[in-house]
Amino acid sequence: MSEENYRKQYNLFDVNFDHWERESDVASPEDIYRLLRKVGHSCSSSEMNKDVILRLKKWNPSWAMAGNKKSRKKNMKQTHHEVKLLSAGRTIYLSRDVLTAIKRSELYSADVLCYITDMSQKEHFHKLCSTLDYFGYPDVAEKIDFVGFGKLEGMSTRAGTGLSLESVVQEALELQAETMEKQKSTYLKHNFEQLDDLTKKKHAAWFVAASVFSSKRQKDLKFNWQLHLKNDNGMYLQRTYSKIKNLLSKNNARTRQMVITDDADFSAFALEPHWRELLEFSASYSNAREKSISELDGFILLQFGLRLGQLAHKVMSKDEKWIELDQNSKELYERIILFECILQIFEDLLNILGYKPTDQF
């Protein structure tokens, strides 16, 4: 895929990079021979244009030792790597990563070099750490952090079986159009037709991302977009956000006049089971947020958002007229405060997952 297309796809998630690098920037075998000579290899002319394979002592970062008991035991038992650096005198994936890691560490004075790839490359980056240590760069090896994710089974850009995000987004847009047709009056009510094409594409890209977040980060996901796009988790969270936003916007004037309330004041409605459940669950958001960030797993936040949405809809359906309580009612203020907090939770949650929600469906 071209760099131009990559940039277009990242733009759908408002992701930008300050600097782009290519493997070809560090493809010189002479740089590898220089490192080999530094640690005592002769690298004579007769050895040129041949494979270079080394047996290296393992450098064991904490992420390499993580996993189930069986894999940890295997890692502890195997003390060395067999590492191929050159193939017929040409650089390969590992040797280019060695040179790139050294270059980036020096160029950016990096604290961490984070590699985000699928789980099958974990061993490769383990070897990268061991090779850096062997060449006298233990400080750079220490900076390597590997974040692995599961593969979309049935998709591989290298094997030519991958689809671009753009093509999948197009399918999501078509699915949106079908949904809009089925619920035409609802969407027109919320001005969905007035959204520009880029915003619609961002909606669609989020629906695709949400289908991926529906599985744990390290778990493989069987590729079936027809099935996953119809799983409307992303659309559900967007709808919930916009519904609460519209609900509160109708009461803007009263919200601005809101008085300060004490925790005890919430007892007026918290005794009702569906309100209490919503209040208690929303209060647990900080724990879910911290865990999701710590484990770098969007699945945790997505599941929290779906449950919070269910509880919010339950309250709105059971107490459909609560927003029409007397404008001087303290009970109304308390309920608006709670829903303001829930709206902030949804906005924060979705932003962390890479999506900026809109007021409209």
Higher pLDDT: 120 or 319? It is: 120
Higher pLDDT: 3 or 281? It is: 281
Q: Considering the chain, what is the average pLDDT of its residues? A: 81
What was the pLDDT predicted at 253? 43
Of the listed ranges 20-29, 182-191, 277-286, 342-351, the one predicted with least confidence: 182-191
The predicted-structure confidence for 22-44, as pLDDT tens digits, reads as follows 766 777 899 999 999 999 988 87
The predicted-structure confidence for 225-282, as pLDDT tens digits, reads as follows 666 556 678 888 988 998 898 888 876 644 445 455 555 555 556 667 888 899 999 9
Query: Are 194 and 56 part of one and the same domain?
Result: no
Phi first, then psi: what are they for 175, rounded to 5°? -65, -40
Higher pLDDT: 80 or 25? It is: 80
Closest CA to 58 of 132, 118, 120, 121: 132
Query: Are 128 and 184 part of one and the same domain?
Result: no
220 burial type by CB count under 10 A (0-12 exposed, 13-18 middle, 19+ buried): middle
The predicted-structure confidence for 90-107, as pLDDT tens digits, reads as follows 999 999 999 999 999 998
111 domain-assigned: yes
Phi first, then psi: what are they for 82, rounded to 5°? -100, 115
pLDDT (average), residues 319-323: 64
What was the pLDDT predicted at 71? 60
244 domain-assigned: yes
pLDDT (average), residues 326-343: 76
Of the residues 123, 149, 175, the one at which a domain ends: 149
The CATH code of the domain that includes 279 is: 1.10.730.10
Domain that holds residue 251: 165-352
What was the pLDDT predicted at 254? 46
The CATH code of the domain that includes 144 is: 3.40.50.620
Higher pLDDT: 157 or 139? It is: 139
Higher pLDDT: 154 or 304? It is: 304
What was the pLDDT predicted at 178? 72
Higher pLDDT: 10 or 195? It is: 10
Query: Are 321 and 180 part of one and the same domain?
Result: yes
Our count of domains for the chain comes to: 2
Query: Are 213 and 348 part of one and the same domain?
Result: yes
Cβ atoms 242, 360 nearer than 8 A: yes
Residue 158 scores a pLDDT above 50: no
Query: Are 123 and 188 part of one and the same domain?
Result: no
The predicted-structure confidence for 270-316, as pLDDT tens digits, reads as follows 667 888 899 999 999 999 999 999 999 999 999 999 999 999 999 88
Higher pLDDT: 4 or 328? It is: 4
Q: What are the residue ranges of helices labelled H in the chain?
A: 3-11, 29-38, 62-65, 69-77, 93-108, 122-134, 138-143, 165-182, 184-189, 197-213, 225-229, 233-249, 252-256, 267-270, 273-283, 285-295, 298-318, 330-352
Map residue 84 onto helix, strand or coil.
Answer: strand
Query: Are 123 and 195 part of one and the same domain?
Result: no
pLDDT (average), residues 107-132: 93
Residue 49 scores a pLDDT above 50: yes
CA distance 281 to 264: 18
247 domain-assigned: yes
pLDDT (average), residues 15-21: 83
Any bridge partners for residue 53, and if so which? 84
358 domain-assigned: no
224 domain-assigned: yes
Map residue 117 onto helix, strand or coil.
Answer: strand
What was the pLDDT predicted at 45? 74
High-pLDDT (> 90) share of the chain, %: 36
Residue 317 scores a pLDDT above 60: yes
Higher pLDDT: 176 or 275? It is: 275
Residue 326 scores a pLDDT above 60: no
What was the pLDDT predicted at 347? 95
Query: Are 134 and 232 part of one and the same domain?
Result: no
